[in-house]
Structure 1
Amino acid sequence: MCALLIGPFPANLLPPLMPIPVMGGSVSAGFPSPAEDWVEDRVDLNRRFVPHPEATFFFRVCGDSMVSPIAERSIPDKATLIVDRSREAKHDDIVVAILNDEFTVKRLYRRGNRLALIAENPAYPPIVLNEEQELSIWGVVTAWIMEPR
């Protein structure tokens, strides 16, 4: 299993518009319900997830350090991260950082003078930074995409 992120891959500066239909109503995750046969709206995923194309990059996750027992916080192996370099990282943001000349993705812990990178997977200990270590926050993860298979 690899331990590094794969990327960065830049976002297209002039992405073509690609409006995708947004269906009205909701979809049942329990018992089937009749589908509505009308489109409520259209959304362009570039506009939704890439507000700053010149500062947006994609990374492919490699490893399980961000797999969490809490589903909404879990980033699986092979997920694609959308990373915005124009955003300032705050406490509890998921960030792509450069530590020891390698990219890593972790949750940022910043309280007072304490700085740490926290994995979502409890099997990985926090990386508590000291004055001798050099950390560079490369960008803030704004979303991730994963394929169901």
Structure 2
Amino acid sequence: MNKISAKQQRILDYISAFSLEHGYPPSVREIGAEMGLRSPSTVHAHLKKLQDAGYLEPNDHKSRALTPVRGPSMMPRVPILGRVTAGMPILAVEEHVGYVPYEPAAHGGAYYALRIRGDSMTGAGILDDDLVIVRQDTEARSGDIVIALLEDEATCKTLSLTQDGVWLLPENPSYPPINGEGCQILGVVKAVYREY
């Protein structure tokens, strides 16, 4: 791909982010407003350069729409749906508060992210205020780190299936195991995302 200007890179980043969030690319007017470009013809000139350089391609389903060619600026993202405890369970609150990049989301499956509150999973490398990427699933294997719902409270723990029953185990000796009989598995933790 050919070299592009800093402004064209900003336009490309904006188109990519907008497309990921809305499912369709922004209009020329929206690009102009975001970039502080008053003239639609200036926006069209930048879009033509991005297309000629191989960064944008026509969208077969929409006339005049250009979509980014898959690349680093088109990293799949998953929604952040609120918080969950790594401590004693708290009331599960679902609130869409943003996105986090996660490449495997492009290969199918439903994923979401939750912000961790507490320190019961530090032994597994999950710290207070980390984001965990969760694959939505109602089944898990013993040893999986899961998001489990106990009545109306959610927690992040290691699932243990034994002859004695179902247990939700903390990865911090300061916390006791939780009897998980009757819990509902909401998903399996697949990754940790730490913002610094």
CA deviations over 1:114-139 (Å, ceiling 9, x no partner): 21000001100101245xxx310000
| 1:59 lines up with 2:107 in the alignment | no
Q: In 1, Cα distance between the equivalents of 2:104 and 2:22?
A: 15
| 1:102 lines up with 2:147 in the alignment | no
Q: In 1, Cα distance between the equivalents of 2:161 and 2:22?
A: 32
Q: In 2 relative to 1, CA 87–143 (structure 1 residues): closer, same or farther, beyond 3 Å?
A: farther
Task: For 2:195, give the aligned amino acid.
Answer: E
Task: For 2:186, give the aligned amino acid.
Answer: W
CA contact (8 A) 1:49 1:142 kept: no
Which of 121, 142, 148 aligns to 2:190? It is 142
CA contact (8 A) 1:50 1:56 kept: no
Note the residue ranges of structure 2 that are not aligned, 5 or more in a row.
1-19, 25-67, 74-100
Greater helix fraction, Structure 1 or Structure 2 = 2
Note the residue ranges of structure 1 that are not aligned, 5 or more in a row.
1-10, 21-44
Give 2:72's aligned residue: 19
Quote the RMSD (CA, aligned, Å): 2.8
Which structure has more RCO (C-alpha within 8 Å, separation ≥ 6)? 1
Give 1:119's aligned residue: 170
Q: Which has the greater radius of gyration?
A: 2
Task: For 1:103, give the aligned amino acid.
Answer: A
Q: In 2, Cα distance between the equivalents of 1:86 and 1:105?
A: 14
Aligned length: 106
